[in-house]
Structure 1
Amino acid sequence: MVSENPTGSLFTTIENKIATLSFGHPSSNSFPRELLDRLTNEFAVLSSNPAVSVIVIQSEGSGAFCAGASFDELLAVSDEAAGAHFFSGFAHLINAMRLCSKLIVGRVHGKAVGGGVGIASACDYTLATKNASIKLSELAIGIGPFVIEPVVSKKIGKTAMAEMTLAAHEWKTADWAAAKGLYANTFETIEELDAAIADFSAKLSSYNPEALLEMKKVLWEGTQHWDTLLLERAAISGKLVLSDFTRKALSQFKN
C-alpha cells in the first residue's frame, strides 16, 4: 500500500506476516496533522488485518527519525480550539498504537524530538542506532510534553521523564535511552540495526498470534483512561501555545 501527497509520505508493505510502515517528510520527518491522521488510520487498518502479526514502524532517510509535530502548523495556531486540535494529533496516534491488536516494533535510526520520542515510547519494543539521541524541548518554548508524557513515563518512569523534560535544551544519548528502557538495544550502524530488526520481527511473527494479542493487552494494562486523558492534555498545550511567552519564543525561534 502507498499513500503519498505534499504533506508527507506513508508506505506500508506486508511480507511474511510483518507489516513495515514507513513515514517521511522533508522537514526532518516531522508530522503535519494530515500525515499524523493517515498514520493513525493505518494502525487501525493493520490492527484488523489477519495477514499481519507484527508491525515495524520506521522513517525515511538517514537523518532524524522524527522531529515531532509540524512547526509551521504550530505557528499557525490562532485560538484554543485550533490549539487543542493541533495537539490532539499525537493523542490520537498514541491511542491508536496502544489499541492496535498487533505488537509494534520501532526502528529508530536517528534523533527523535518531542512527538518522535512519543512514537518511540508507544512502540512495544524499540531498537535504535547509537545516533538516536532524544530530546523533549517543549518547556523551552513555553509549553510542555503533556500529550506524550503518559506514554514516555510508562516506558522510562516518571523520574527519567522529569529529567528529560526539565533539561529542555539537553540531548539525551541513545545509551541513556537504552539504560532507562526506551530502547531495548542500540547498534553502531543502520545496517546492524536493520539486521536486528529483521531477525527480531521474524522471530516475533512466528509466535502464536493469540498469545501475542494477549501479551499486547498485558503490556498496556491500566491505560484505558488515555482516551480522555491525552485529549485533556492536548487542551492544556492548546491553551499554553497562545501565551505571550510562547508566542515570543516561537517568533524568536522562527527568526
Structure 2
Amino acid sequence: MLRFDLSAYYSLLEVFDRTGRLMFPQDWTGEEAWSRDTENPNEIKEQRKELFAKITSLQNDMAPPHALMAMDLSDSEFQETSDNLGAMNTRMKEAKAELAQLPKVSDTWLKDHAGFSRRVAVEKELAQAFNAGDLQLIVGTSRIVPWKSWCQRSDFRVYYPLSMIRIPKGESALRRGPAFVSREMFAIWSNRFARPEPDNEEHRLTTEAQLTEWLRDLIAKQPVKPKTTEALRQQDLEMFPSLSVRGFNAVWKVTAPEAWRKKGRKKELE
C-alpha cells in the first residue's frame, strides 16, 4: 500500500524555482539556486564614472593653456601657464592611475550579482512563508519542520540546490533529509504572485491570497469557530465578489485548523 505519494509534493528545489519564476518572470534564469555571493558592482561602476568625468574635465581645462603655449608669451606668462598645465597634468596622471587600479565591471559580474540578489530575495520570501505557516516544510516523508524554533538553531541549514535540510542535533537520528512542500499548499500560497497590471509593476494579492490573510486573522482572534463552514463560505463570497466556491474550498482546506474543518454547527456570531 502506498504510504507516501511523492506526486503530491514539490521538492525544495522545485519550490525555490517556481517561486523565483513568479517573483521575477522576466529575469529568472533557473541558475539562481547555485549563484554565489559577489561584491555589488554598483559602487565600482560609480567610482569609474566619477574618474572618467574627472579626466574628461581636466582634458577640457588643459586645452586653453595648451593653445596659449603656442602664442608669443612673456617669460612670466609662459611660466605661469606651464605651471598650471603641470598641476593639471599631475592630477590627470593620478586620476588615470586610480582608474587603472579599479576592476572593470564586466557583463558576467553584473549577471552574477543580479542572480545572487534574486536568490537572496527568493530565500527570504520562502523563509517568511515557512515562519508564518503559509507553507509547511516536510523533511523525510512526514515530519513537519518546526521552522520558528529550528531556524534559531545554528546547526540548522537549508540546501535549496540539493532539496535537503540539515536537522539540528538531538532532533532526529538522521542529520540530513530530503525536504518537500505540498503542491496543494504551494498552489494556494503562490496565488499572491498575481501578474501585475500593464500600467502597474507592483504585484497585487489575488482574491485567494486576500482570503487566506483574512482567515488567518479571524482564526487568531477567534479560537472557537464562530460560524458554520457554510455560513463562513457565504460570508466570504459576499466579501470577495471575485471569489469562487472552489477557490474558497481550496483556501479553507489548507488554512482552517482541523477543529474548524470538522462538521457540526457552531455558535453563531452575535
TM category, shorter: under 0.3
Scaled by the length of structure 1, the TM-score of the pair is 0.20
Higher strand share: 1
Higher helix share: 2
